[in-house]
């Protein structure tokens, strides 16, 4: 057992975002029982690559309460266009199948967590690390 594990306990297992496509967007996002955060990204997008660890942390932090999904805009162009995505990264927040918030461009983890807590979870405070 390493020093950090002794000090802070074992680390929670990492949760992977759900991969959504044109074919499964309705089932995974619009008809989800949980609120959903969709990270729309593009290949070769530098800010998208910077967002990746933040999205991974969100998926782990909110596991079981919020579904975190990722959509490759190049592979799911029809869905990206249908939802008015004009640039990447774009993070869209859905509750009961309806968009409730959207952020375009790189933003930090704290900002995304605040939106999840206020818009998707109704003000539930989230403990843990954030920046």
Are 89 and 105 in contact, with CB atoms under 8 Å apart? yes
Q: Which of 48, 55, 58, 115 is catalytic?
A: 48
CA angle 126, 17, 86 (to 5 degrees): 95
Task: Judge whether 26 counts as a catalytic residue.
Answer: no
Look up residue 14 and give its DSSP letter.
P
Task: Judge whether 48 counts as a catalytic residue.
Answer: yes
Q: Which of 22, 24, 34, 45 is catalytic?
A: 45
Q: How far apart are alpha carbons 25 and 38 in whole angstroms?
A: 10
- Of 66, 49, 46, 50, the C-alpha closest to 58 is 66
Q: So which residues are the catalytic ones?
A: 45, 48
């Amino acid at each position: 057992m390493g020093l950090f594990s002794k000090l802070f306990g074992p680390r929670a297992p990492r949760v992977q975002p759900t991969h959504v496509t044109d074919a499964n967007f309705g089932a995974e996002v619009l008809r989800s029982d949980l609120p959903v955060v969709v990270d729309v990204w593009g290949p070769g997008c530098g800010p998208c690559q910077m967002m990746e660890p933040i999205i991974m942390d969100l998926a782990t932090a909110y596991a079981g309460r919020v579904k975190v999904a990722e959509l490759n805009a190049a592979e799911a162009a029809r869905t990206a266009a249908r939802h008015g995505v004009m640039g990447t990264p774009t993070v869209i927040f859905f509750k009961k199948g309806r968009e409730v918030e959207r952020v375009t461009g790189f933003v930090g983890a704290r900002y995304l967590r605040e939106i999840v807590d206020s818009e998707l979870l109704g003000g539930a405070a989230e403990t843990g690390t954030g920046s």
